[in-house]
């Protein structure tokens, strides 16, 4: 089922869950017996558990959810390298408890994702995709001076919820558009960073009430599930736009579709959905929502950089290569010391 890239049976086995970039993933073959899926595959939890059973490590994407059930029979599993900065597909507590290192791919995607957040914001506020559909449908003959009127970005107030690296990148871009930037975050940023971003800290309610455009860039956790619900949407100006490039579960999509359908919100731009790859029919039916298929980090250079970082992480987390024992971007660094000991022991025992 899994064609082997390398057949060196004595070496630790790793699983690559999806086709990524062969030339980059090929670096794993210098250290490991690599099993890869070969084609884009929707893996069931059982298939993931089966694939992990004999593995020391895995290179996976956001489409693979890995928790206690998937690792239960994976006695030799020591590292999971996620290709993505967000890692809500991983049960980090379960991995940590099992002494398995988890890694992600921050930084390399920051600017590309901020670019896309801005692109989606502009497309949403200025109704770009709706206008293209209108033109292709041959409606230009019906043009009037008030056709497809949108909202300005320049001079408006931008609200950013989640002011990590990507949120800060969006704020820096907003300066070029003379926008006033309010942000809400778990903690307030140092003054110097606020100044560099030209952003002012505000409460969640204030951001939602004052912003002409709100962009969501916060990490998903159960605590922020449906953070943007009917009550939050009701605080927004009816002329406002909402953009989500974080995770679908942060927004109550039914409440959003209702607000968009009933003129309580002007428009939304969504790159992420609660039931990906499914998109709710209520959203698909609306004209005033721009829908993209989770592509915020999808520039060629950045996707390659993400895979490269994930490969570096996996090699190092499994005790190989120049950074053996020190993967560049672990998400549960606490297990690293213990995992290093486990790796050395396993190596000594010839596992």
For ligand 8YV, the closer CB: 86 or 167: 86
Q: How far is the CB of 88 from ligand 8YV (least distance, A)?
A: 8
For ligand 8YV, the closer CB: 157 or 299: 299
**Catalytic option among 35, 78, 173, 247:** 247
Handedness of CA 267, 174, 110, 233 (dihedral sign): negative
For ligand 8YV, the closer CB: 106 or 325: 106
235: CB partners within 8 A, 6+ apart: 205, 208, 209
For ligand 8YV, the closer CB: 19 or 155: 19
Tell me the C-alpha distance between 247 and 217, whole Å: 8
At 343, list the tokens.
């790796």
For ligand 8YV, the closer CB: 61 or 239: 61
Q: How far is the CB of 210 from ligand 8YV (least distance, A)?
A: 28
Tell me the C-alpha distance between 113 and 185, whole Å: 18
For ligand 8YV, the closer CB: 79 or 217: 217
**Catalytic option among 78, 126, 173, 294:** 294
- Known catalytic membership, residue 226: no
Q: How far is the CB of 108 from ligand 8YV (least distance, A)?
A: 9
Residue from 176, 152, 174 nearest 163 by CA: 174
Helix 300-317 and helix 110-125, axial crossing angle in degrees, nearest 10: 140
Q: How far is the CB of 60 from ligand 8YV (least distance, A)?
A: 10
Tell me the C-alpha distance between 222 and 349, whole Å: 40
Answer yes or no: are the C-beta atoms of 113 and 245 closer than 8 Å. yes
- Known catalytic membership, residue 225: no
Q: Rounded to the nearest 5 degrees, what angle is found at the Cα of 129, between the Cα atoms of 235 and 210? A: 20
**Catalytic option among 65, 276, 280, 304:** 276
At 197, list the tokens.
């971003």
Q: How far is the CB of 109 from ligand 8YV (least distance, A)?
A: 5
Task: Count Cβ neighbours within 10 Å for each residue of 253-286 and write b for 16 or more, e otherwise.
Answer: bebbbebbbeebbbbbbbbbbbeeeebbeebeeb
Residues that bind ligand 8YV (CB under 6 A): 61-62, 83-86, 109, 294, 297
Q: How far is the CB of 62 from ligand 8YV (least distance, A)?
A: 4
For ligand 8YV, the closer CB: 249 or 325: 249
Q: How far is the CB of 221 from ligand 8YV (least distance, A)?
A: 13
Output the CA torsion 333→10→14→106 (10° steps): 40
Q: Which long-range contacts (CB under 8 A, 24 or more apart) does 35-40 make?
A: 35/2, 35/3, 35/4, 35/5, 36/2, 36/3, 36/5, 37/2, 38/2, 38/3
- Known catalytic membership, residue 276: yes
Size (the chain), residues: 351
Helix H or strand E segment including 345: helix 334-348
* Beta strands 199-201; 213-216: pairing state: unpaired
- Between the alpha carbon of residue 325 and those of residues 49, 76, 173, 268, the distances in Å are 25, 16, 37, 44
Question: Which of the residues are catalytic?
Answer: 247, 276, 294
């Amino acid at each position: 089922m899994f064609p082997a890239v390398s057949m060196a049976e004595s070496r630790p086995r790793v699983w690559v869950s999806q086709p990524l970039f062969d030339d980059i993933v090929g670096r794993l073959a210098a250290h490991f017996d690599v099993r890869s899926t070969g084609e884009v595959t929707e893996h069931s939890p059982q298939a993931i558990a089966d694939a992990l059973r004999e593995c020391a490590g895995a290179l996976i994407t956001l489409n693979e959810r890995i928790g206690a059930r998937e690792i239960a029979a994976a006695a030799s599993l020591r590292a999971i390298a996620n290709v993505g900065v967000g890692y809500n597909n991983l049960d980090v507590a379960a991995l940590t408890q099992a002494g398995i290192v988890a890694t992600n791919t921050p930084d390399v995607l920051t600017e590309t994702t901020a670019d896309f957040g801005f692109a989606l914001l502009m497309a949403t506020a200025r109704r770009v995709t709706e206008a293209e559909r209108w033109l292709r449908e041959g409606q230009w003959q019906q043009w009037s001076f008030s056709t497809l009127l949108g909202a300005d970005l320049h001079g408006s107030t931008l609200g950013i919820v989640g002011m990590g690296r990507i949120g800060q990148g969006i704020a820096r871009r907003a300066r070029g558009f003379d926008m006033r930037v309010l942000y809400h975050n778990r903690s307030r940023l140092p003054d110097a960073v606020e100044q560099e971003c030209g952003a002012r800290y505000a409460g969640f309610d204030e951001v939602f009430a004052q912003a002409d455009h709100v962009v969501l860039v916060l990490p998903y956790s159960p605590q922020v599930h449906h953070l943007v619900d009917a009550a939050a949407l009701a605080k927004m100006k009816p002329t406002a736009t909402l953009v989500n490039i974080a995770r679908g579960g942060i927004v109550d999509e039914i409440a959003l579709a209702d607000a968009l359908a009933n003129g309580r919100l002007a428009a939304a731009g969504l790159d992420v959905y609660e039931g990906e790859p499914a998109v709710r029919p209520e959203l698909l039916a609306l004209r005033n929502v721009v829908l993209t298929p989770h592509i915020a980090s999808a520039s060629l250079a950045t996707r390659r950089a993400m895979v490269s970082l994930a490969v570096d992480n996996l090699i190092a987390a499994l005790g190989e290569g120049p950074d053996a024992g020190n993967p560049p971007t672990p998400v549960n660094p606490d297990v690293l010391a213990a995992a290093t000991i486990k790796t050395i022991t396993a190596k000594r025992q010839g596992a």
